[in-house]
Amino acid sequence: IMLSASVTNDTAFHPSTFILLGIPGMQDQHMWAAIPFCSMYILALVGNGTILYIIMTDRTLHEPMYLFLCLLSITDLILCSTTLPKMLTIFWLRSHIISYHGCLTQMFFVHTIFATESAVLLAMAFDRYVAICRPLHYTSILNATVIGKIGLACVVRGLLFVFPFVILIERLPFCGHHIIPHTYCEHMGIAKLACASIKPNTIYGLTVALSVTGMDVVLIATSYGLILRAVLRLPSKDAQFRAFSTCGAHICVILVFYVPAFFSFFTHRFGHQVPPHVHIVLANLYLLVPPVLNPLVYGINTKQIRLRIFGFFMGRR
- Give yes or no for a contact between 174 and 13, defined as CB atoms under 8 angstroms apart: yes
Structure confidence by residue, pLDDT tens digits, 72-124: 999 999 999 999 999 999 999 999 999 999 999 999 999 999 999 999 999 99
pLDDT for the residue 313: 61
pTM, two decimals, is 0.88
Amino acid at 272: H
The separation between CA 267 and the C-alpha centre of its own chain, rounded to angstroms, equals 18
User: Coil, strand or helix: which one is 302?
Assistant: coil
pLDDT for the residue 185: 95
pLDDT tens, residue order, the chain (317 aa): 333 333 344 455 788 999 999 988 888 888 998 999 999 999 999 999 988 988 888 888 888 888 898 999 999 999 999 999 999 999 999 999 999 999 999 999 999 999 999 999 999 999 988 988 888 888 888 888 899 999 999 999 999 999 999 999 999 999 888 999 999 999 999 999 999 999 999 999 999 988 889 999 999 999 999 988 888 887 777 777 777 777 777 788 888 889 888 888 888 777 677 888 888 888 888 889 899 988 888 776 677 777 776 666 665 55
User: Coil, strand or helix: which one is 123?
Assistant: helix
Count CA atoms within 13 Å of residue 35 on its CB side: 3
pLDDT for the residue 5: 38
Q: Which residues have CB under 8 Å from 57's CB, separation 6+? A: none
Q: Strand 97-99 vs strand 179-180: parallel, antiparallel, or unpaired?
A: unpaired
